Amino acid sequence: MTSTRWPPGSRSREGPVTARVRRAMRVGAALVAVLATSPPLAFVQERNPAADDERDRAFVEALRREDPGDAARYTELRDARRSAIAELQKVQARYGAAGPELRPLLLPQLKEAQRRYAESSLAVSWTSTSGHARISRSCAAESDRP
């Protein structure tokens, strides 16, 4: 028959692991957990809606000079994304306000709103990425001209 004894030092009465050491270890673990889940302070920035709108306007104008059809498509997709965000926020507010009994009834609406938002965001991202690449190529070609 084997003994089920604790290893030496693993229990406070058997060795050097004191309450103070255990407390320090718990505090350290909590500190690591908090730091691991928080964003680095260097990357935290306040959103500036006016600057975002100005960048968007400049992008649409550059895209319009390159290809008016792509600019119109980007604008439509951007407006669809804004609409999807508004709808998602509305459904999230209803879901949050609903009690636990009603949440299962609202879950399909929430998932659908999340899906529409994801699709519209991906469409805008893809369109803006390809537009940025096209604008960059045309700017590089213009700078290569004598």
96-107: pLDDT as tens digits? 999 889 999 999
Please report, as a single letter, which amino acid is at residue 14: E
Q: What is the pLDDT of residue 116?
A: 94
Q: Name the residue among 132, 122, 145 with its Cα closest to residue 62.
A: 132
Residue 90 CB coordination number (10 Å): 12
Which residue ranges make up each domain of the chain?
9-41, 49-144
Average pLDDT score over residue span 65-77: 90
Q: What is the residue whose two structure tokens read 């691991």?
A: 36
User: Cβ(23)–Cβ(34) under 8 Å?
Assistant: no
Regarding predicted confidence, which is higher, 91 or 134?
Answer: 91
Q: Which of 28-42, 56-70, 77-91, 113-127 shows the highest mean pLDDT?
A: 77-91
pTM reported for the whole predicted model: 0.55
Let me know: does 124 contact 79? Beta carbons within 8 Å: no
Predicted pLDDT of residue 117:
93
List the alpha helices (DSSP H) in 1-146: 19-37, 49-66, 68-97, 103-144
